[in-house]
């Protein structure tokens, strides 16, 4: 691992996931700073220095960078900050892994899907609604449909609408989550899912992982949420033959050079149907699995690029989505409420097959009702591996029995976990 002693990294946004950036940045001997407008941002507690400068105040952040002689800046996990991150990098002369045009085209779900169509990549069917007053079109939509903001992430503002009345009731909610005040109306897909991961290095585009995304429905009207990911996907070979070359062509056409990408896709009759992507770090933290399976860490690469403008990983040699072992990301979800105690994490971490754990919350934290149907319901992720699906099932079942989350009312907050009998079916 490269030693970057003495260099300073500024993280834009102190959300809990930013603690992961701090963890790996410190392994590189970086001084790590965090800024946002909140006094009690979770990541600020673990930073070498923290600041109250808002991440959307580009001029103020650039001034902070110059005052503190920062060598690089980074953000991730949410799309909202990416345009600000780009402007901050440009105005302060720091490395940025993407252009503003690339961010704008790939953040927006409408432009991303049109790009896919241009390259012959299947996408979810969508329906054009110009205005909420277009009652005739709304009444004639082929319900159920999915209503979502064009430019947000994490499940925020997304609703499953089964009738025109539900559509009208939820339209303004989706608009409120969109910076551009645009919504996307799509065919509702009740089918299998996968997530596809890429790393880019000086224009070299590598498929690094593909996992089956196992989801469950918990509440009427909101999208299903992930309860596990298993790697490698059973659809990997078909994807490599049919869609992967088109994705490489699409990224190349945009001039994409560096960074990491994740693509979310449905699978119907064995064929991938894309619905959105992120050109950033992702909250599923798949780099923990990739590091164990392939010997390099995409997050570490992002950090190195942020402070030096380059990375030194031999992707040609190491990048291979056909892992020797079976891997899982066990995703624990909770109901809204105030957490009294999270128990079992240390016991899980000691298990032989467990690579790492990431708790999103701590004792005393509260999950609001507004978190329903979003990734804010994720209380913890556990990363593990095994030599076979049978062994992986046993590991996952054992992990499931160890974690307990209790509310201040004395109730079990955990939602039903993944049924490991489905590993081979999906």
Query: β-strand 337-343 against 366-367: which pairing, if any?
Result: antiparallel
pLDDT digits (tens, 9 = 90+) for 225-275: 999 999 999 999 999 999 999 999 999 999 999 999 999 999 999 999 999
- 49 has a pLDDT exceeding 50: yes
What is the arithmetic mean of pLDDT over 33-50?
Answer: 97
Mean pLDDT of the chain: 95
Residue ranges per domain, the chain?
Answer: 8-96, 99-117+193-224+233-316, 125-187, 325-426
Q: What percent of the chain has pLDDT over 90?
A: 85
With a cut of 70, say whether residue 408 has pLDDT above it: yes
Average pLDDT over residues 70-82: 94
- Give the C-alpha separation, 285 to 260, whole Å: 12
Q: Assess whether pLDDT exceeds 80 at residue 155.
A: no
Is pLDDT at 154 greater than 70 in this prediction? no
Class of 8-96 in CATH: alpha beta
State residue 426's pLDDT score.
41
Res. 424: pLDDT tops 80: no
Q: What confidence score (pLDDT) does residue 76 get?
A: 84
Beta bridge partners of 145: 161, 187
- Residue 161 or residue 134, greater confidence: 161
Distance CA(315)–CA(209), nearest Å, equals 13
What pLDDT is stored for residue 177 in this prediction? 86
Q: What is the mean pLDDT of residues 185-197?
A: 95
Decide which of 3.40.50.2300, 3.20.20.140, 3.30.470.20, 3.40.640.10 is the CATH code for 99-117+193-224+233-316: 3.30.470.20
Contact 281, 77 (CB under 8 A): yes
Peptide bond into 43 cis (omega under 30): no
Q: Per residue in 164-190, is it b (16+ CB within 10 Å) or e — as a string? A: bebbeebbeebbebbeeeebbbbbbbe
pTM of the complete model: 0.94
Give residue 182's pLDDT band: very low, low, confident or very high (50, 70, 90): confident
Give yes or no for residue 170 having a pLDDT over 50: yes
In the predicted model, what is the mean pLDDT of residues 122-142? Answer: 90
For 100-110, give one letter per residue: b (16+ CB within 10 A) or e. eebbebbbbbb
Query: Which CATH code, of 3.30.1490.20, 3.40.50.300, 3.90.1150.10, 3.40.640.10, is assigned to 125-187?
Result: 3.30.1490.20
Assess whether the region 99-117+193-224+233-316 and the region 325-426 belong to the same CATH fold: no
Q: Which of 31, 34, 26 is nearest to 7 (CA)?
A: 31
pLDDT, position 422: 85
pLDDT in tens, 376-395: 999 999 999 999 999 999 99
Q: What is the CATH number of domain 325-426?
A: 3.90.600.10
Residue 1 pLDDT > 70: no
Q: What is the pLDDT of residue 181?
A: 85
Residue tagged 């994705």 (tokens)? 247
pLDDT of residue 78: 86
């Amino acid at each position: 691992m490269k030693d970057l002693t003495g260099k300073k990294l500024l993280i834009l946004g102190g959300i809990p996931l930013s603690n992961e950036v701090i963890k790996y940045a410190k392994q590189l001997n970086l001084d790590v700073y965090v800024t946002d407008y909140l006094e009690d941002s979770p990541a600020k507690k673990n930073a070498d220095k923290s600041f109250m400068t808002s991440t959307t105040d580009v001029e103020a952040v650039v001034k902070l960078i110059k005052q503190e002689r920062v060598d690089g800046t980074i953000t991730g996990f949410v799309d909202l900050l990416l345009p600000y991150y780009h402007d901050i990098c440009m105005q302060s002369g720091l490395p940025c892994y993407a252009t503003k045009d690339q961010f704008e085209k790939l953040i927006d779900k409408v432009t991303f899907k049109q790009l896919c169509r241009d390259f012959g990549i299947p996408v979810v069917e969508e329906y054009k609604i110009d205005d909420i007053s277009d009652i005739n079109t709304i009444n004639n939509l082929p319900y159920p449909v999915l209503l979502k903001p064009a430019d947000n992430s994490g499940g925020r503002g997304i609703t499953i609408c089964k009738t025109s009345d539900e559509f009208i009731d939820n339209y303004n909610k989706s608009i409120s989550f969109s910076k551009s005040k645009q919504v996307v109306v799509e065919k509702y897909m009740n089918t299998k899912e996968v997530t596809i991961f890429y790393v880019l290095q000086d224009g070299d585009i590598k498929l690094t992982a593909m996992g089956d995304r196992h989801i469950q429905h918990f509440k009427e009207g909101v999208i299903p949420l992930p309860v596990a990911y298993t790697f490698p996907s059973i659809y990997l070979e078909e994807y490599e033959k049919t869609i992967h070359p088109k994705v490489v062509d699409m990224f190349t056409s945009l001039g994409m050079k560096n960074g990491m990408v994740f693509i979310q896709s449905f699978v119907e009759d064995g064929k991938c149907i894309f619905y959105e992507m992120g050109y950033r770090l992702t909250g599923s933290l798949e780099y923990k699995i990739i590091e164990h399976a392939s010997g390099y860490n995409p997050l570490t690469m992002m950090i190195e690029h942020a402070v030096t403008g380059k990375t030194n990983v031999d992707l040609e040699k190491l990048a291979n989505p056909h892992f020797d072992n079976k891997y899982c990301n066990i995703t624990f979800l909770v109901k809204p409420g105030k957490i009294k105690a999270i128990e079992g994490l240390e016991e899980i971490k000691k298990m032989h097959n467990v690579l790492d754990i990431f708790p999103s919350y701590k004792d005393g934290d509260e999950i609001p009702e507004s978190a329903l149907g979003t990734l804010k319901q994720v209380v913890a992720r556990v990363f593990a591996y095994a030599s076979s699906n049978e062994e992986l099932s046993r590991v996952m079942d054992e992990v499931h029995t160890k974690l307990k989350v209790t509310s201040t009312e004395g109730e079990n907050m955990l939602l039903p976990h993944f049924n490991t009998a489905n590993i081979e079916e999906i």
